[in-house]
Chain A
Amino acid sequence: MSLESRELSELKSRIGRDPTPTELQIVAAEWSEHCSYKSSKKHLKMLPMTGKLVINEKGYDSGVLDVGDGYVVTAHIESHNHPSAVEPYGGAATGVGGVIRDILSAGTRPIAIFDGLRFGDIEKDLEARWLFKNVVAGIADYGNCLGIPTIGGEVEFDECYENYALVDVAALGFGKKEGLIKNHAKKGDIVVLLGGSTGRDGIGGSQFASDALESDNRSAVQIPDPFIEKLIIEAVLQARNDKLIHAMKDLGGGGLSCAISEIADALEIGIEMDVDLVHTREDNLSPDEIMISESQERMLIITSRAKLKKLEKICKRFRIGYSVIGHVKSDSQMRIKKGKRTFASLPTDVVANATLLDLPATMPSYLHTIETENKLRPISDYTKILTKLLGSPNIASKIWVYGQYDHEVGIRTVIKPGCDASVLRLDNGKFLSAKIDGNPKHCYINPRQGAIGCFEEACRNVVCTGAKPIGMLDHLQFGNPNDPEIFWTFLESLKGLTDFAKYFKIPCIGGKVSLYNETHAGPIKPTPVIGVIGLAEKKPSVPQTITQGDNLIIVGKTKDELGGSEFFEYIHKFIGGRCPVVDFEDSKKNMKSVLSAINNNLAKSVHDCSKGGLAVAVSELCMTNQIGCKVSLDKVPGDKLCADKILFSESHSRYLLTTDSKKLSKLVALLKKNKVSFKHIGKFGSDSIQFNCKTKSIISLNVTKSRKIWLHSLSNLVLHGKRASQ
């Protein structure tokens, strides 16, 4: 909970004296990994962050994209891993609250929430089940109460998260470009703290999140109150409409210390504040506690004295607490007083900018020894294996999760959860598509290719809805960065993402780094989670019901890439093999062709082929549409492979298109013209999911039975501890 000795002497030399105890607390909070990004910041600069649609403003916590006609979309991603691991309900709920306030800070209304959740093996681990259940409840209760739809996400289980939880929350906002808050402040402006009262919850939360999780420090977890957050949203948007906000910042990690120093540093101003003026929920809080408390649902607003009356009126209308805690000065100092006594007086650039590190990195030794090939037992019954996969926690339907989230409120949700990506309608007639994806199993085997794969998968999902990717969010989650092997995996992932972003000209508009994610068994697998935002100018591709006689076309090559697949890890309990590699040129060609097929109205539906491979992707189509399909494996384009690999390889850049017979020839002609690898591999009909090798049927699965298993396995596991059976 304090500075390292190297950092302490550095602080002394930068301010030319010994710091006061309060100053120490402030700097320790702000120089924590969580707030300062000291280990990662130097390297994050490699990501492309500009583009035609990107709007950069001073002091924003969220990225802004221009979606035309005078409208903007804002986006941000955050995680709340450490808090959720000790107090899953509150940790997850406050994670939602934090990212929503980042969207609000820009002056936009939050319109969607996405969540990426990761836990240990819920089939064996009771604690993982408890964490999962309560994290979902925390997100549901918070988001539902706010009236912001949770419209997408992913849930994954892996032993590397034993007794731990990764809770990533992304949010999107929407508003008029002219309504964006142009952060500015001048001498004499006043600083208002608005929202929940300050208490002892979440003391030292940012430092807690910047250490390996060693204790159940529940007092470092904040307490959620979505009702206050809802009132803050309406109050702030009203104040925005009335042009009462000069600058605004959400209070998150590091509390007031972080908000004051960062906004002052970004706007090159000084701020003097008095802790006695802060509205608190308990007596006798020390100045240090007030400065580093991470009590939730608070916003910092800078306004002029003349506008204060109107702002106060809005606060009273919504019955939210507020206090005028200080004023703006021109000296670039943050001065913390209690009455007449000064407790801290620091240059804001010192507080807001920790010295950045350049940590050593070496390739992990496990990557030298990881098995590349393995003699696995031959499969005698593929039907049984596919059935097992469809009921496995990672592949089974997540309806138990998204059924608890209000995904309709706001009446924008055109494509609902459960599809490849969710789609929202915007006020200018365009459509916004978004998806988040991670894949720690791939990233463990190959951090670089794995990260690229996550990025491409998220793009693919967005493309399936007929939208073109226009921006990405990255959330990089790793273990202790001081371990050079872990830091190497971080750098590799980052380099991969940078390569892909540059090649496809998709700017990174925001992100987060979460380090020190360790369980008692060691570091988590590298877990970058990538969010991609896409825009459809015209109608999105809403999946139409597949009927008898429709055709199945696969776009993209299937390769010898079973490494990190569900087939290896879940069926064979084998970690290793060849990680799927994205061929950038093919990826681009396939994306373009699929989008053009959608725009020419040639596909009834488009589905991404990913986790569980072709076998699972086809089954998903059949189960959702309650119709069978007969697939010829020999026709699948790509390397010459055995049945295992064609069925379960998780090669990227693949799409399943369905079309009726009338449009088949036109679709084939379009794909031929675009020179992509594709084949007409099956026909829909009957009631069984069938895969043939030459003329022999190797899988024959009843649609109704498998649908039942797929739909109910996850809820059965959570509620009764076992999967659904036939």
Chain B
Amino acid sequence: MKVGVIVFPGSNCDRDMYHVLTDVFNLDAQYYWHDKGLPKNIDAIILPGGFSYGDRLRAGVIAAHSPIIKDVQKMAEKGIPVLGVCNGFQILTESGLLPGVLLKNKSLNFMCKWTSLIVDNNTTPFTNQFKINDRIPIPIANGEGRYFVDENTMKKLKKKNQIVFRYDMSVNGSSDRIAGVCNEDGNVVGMMPHPERAAESEINPTDSRPSSLIFESLLVKMGVKN
């Protein structure tokens, strides 16, 4: 199977994501530059973190209008798994693939710290190896990471089981402590924390197993692993 890693001018977690996909999970990954389309034989898409277009105007908003996003949209409609991490999540909300917005953190500062996530939905292609309420030690690093939706959307999110990850305590003031959501079909997932920074024991001060399960879930979904 082939995973496409989308790269925009200013993406800076693309190489980290690529390393984890290929060196840790032996996946066939390929970079795709923002200005062209995606080939048809892609099995999963990942939008890595960074500062696409230097966060100008608003994080993710310019990248959301890149040519490649049209193809991401088409493939998402077909049910292909799509994961957006950090700036990738911001791009997915800005392009309308995911509901909600990401506002400036409550502290108004950029925040880099290790948090603990709680799994709320274990039916997505990136969480099928978890049990509900499993915990994931994982770092965040963002300035605009406060997930916000209005009340009606929140009701809908809950009803359709679209909340994927919550922080175990309030980290940045996000609605309902939300750290990650999915679309109605569940194949498009966005999350602010960085699983690629937590999936190897060497750089994870506590436990790298839970973050590995995010990638292993994808492997299971694709039938690469049982």
Contact = CB atoms under 8 A, between A and B. Distances in A.
B112 A227 contact: no
B16 A410 contact: yes
A144 B196 CA distance: 17
B56 interface: yes
B54 A225 contact: yes
Nearest to B112: A406
Contact of A146 (B12, B20, B111, B196): B12
Interface in A356-385: none
Contacts of B110: 140-141, 144, 404-406
A404 B12 contact: no
A227 B12 contact: no
Contact of A409 (B10, B16, B56): B16
18 contacts: A144-B51, A144-B110, A144-B143, A145-B10, A147-B12, A225-B54, A318-B9, A319-B9, A402-B112, A403-B109, A403-B111, A403-B112, A408-B139, A408-B194, A409-B12, A411-B196, A411-B197, A413-B203
A223 to B, nearest CB: 13
A408 B197 contact: yes
Contact of B51 (A230, A318, A416): A230
B89 to A, nearest CB: 16
B218 interface: no
Interface in A399-443: 402-414, 416, 425
Interface string A536-551: 0000001000000000
Interface string A129-148: 00000000000110011110
Interface in A509-564: 542
A682 interface: no
A404 B111 contact: yes
A231 interface: yes
Interface string B156-184: 00000000000000000000000000000
A226 B203 contact: no
Contacts of A406: 110, 112, 141
A414 B203 contact: yes
A413 B204 CA distance: 9
B51 A147 contact: yes
Contacts of A318: 9
The 7 closest A-B pairs by CB, nearest first: A147-B12, A227-B54, A406-B141, A145-B51, A411-B16, A408-B197, A404-B110
Contacts of A227: 9-10, 51, 53-54, 56
B139 A404 contact: no
Contacts of B196: 411
A408 B112 contact: yes
Interface string A225-247: 11100110000000000000000
Given A147-B13, A405-B112, 12 more contacts: A147-B50, A227-B51, A227-B53, A227-B54, A230-B10, A231-B10, A318-B9, A319-B9, A408-B112, A408-B139, A411-B16, A411-B203
B19 A411 contact: yes
Given A227-B51, A408-B141, A425 B203 contact: yes
Nearest to B56: A227
Interface in B84-134: 109-113
For chain A, the bracket of interface size reads 20 to 34
A147 B141 CA distance: 11
For chain B, the bracket of interface size reads 20 to 34
A646 B143 CA distance: 44
B71 interface: no
A414 B204 CA distance: 8
Nearest to A146: B12
Contacts of B113: 403
Nearest to A226: B54
B207 interface: no
Interface in B186-224: 194, 196-197, 200, 202-203, 205
Contacts of A414: 202-203
Contact of B112 (A147, A230, A404, A542): A404
A230 B53 CA distance: 10
Interface string A443-454: 000000000000
A42 B47 CA distance: 53
Most buried by A among B12, B50, B139: B12
A254 B152 CA distance: 58
Given A144-B51, A227-B51, A416-B205, A407 B200 contact: no
A590 B16 CA distance: 38
A416 B49 CA distance: 20
Contacts of B109: 140, 403-404
Contacts of B54: 145, 225-227, 230
B51 A409 contact: no
Contacts of A226: 51, 54
B203 A412 contact: yes
Contacts of B55: 145
A481 B50 CA distance: 44
Nearest to A320: B9
B52 to A, nearest CB: 9
B112 A407 contact: yes
B206 to A, nearest CB: 10
B39 to A, nearest CB: 19
Contacts of A144: 51, 110, 141, 143
Contacts of B49: 409
Contacts of A225: 54
A403 B143 CA distance: 11
A412 B13 CA distance: 12
Most buried by B among A319, A404, A409: A409
A412 B20 CA distance: 12
A386 to B, nearest CB: 27
Contacts of B19: 411
Interface string B1-43: 0000000011011001001100000000000010000000000
Most buried by B among A144, A405, A408: A408
A231 B9 contact: yes
A135 to B, nearest CB: 14
A414 B109 CA distance: 24
Contacts of A230: 9-10, 12, 51, 54
Contacts of A317: 33
Nearest to B194: A408
A140 B13 CA distance: 17
B44 to A, nearest CB: 20
A557 B130 CA distance: 53
Interface string A204-230: 000000000000000000000111001
Nearest to A411: B16
A318 B54 CA distance: 13
B13 A409 contact: yes
B65 to A, nearest CB: 15
A425 B202 contact: yes
B22 to A, nearest CB: 13
Contacts of B13: 147, 409
Interface in B50-87: 50-51, 53-56
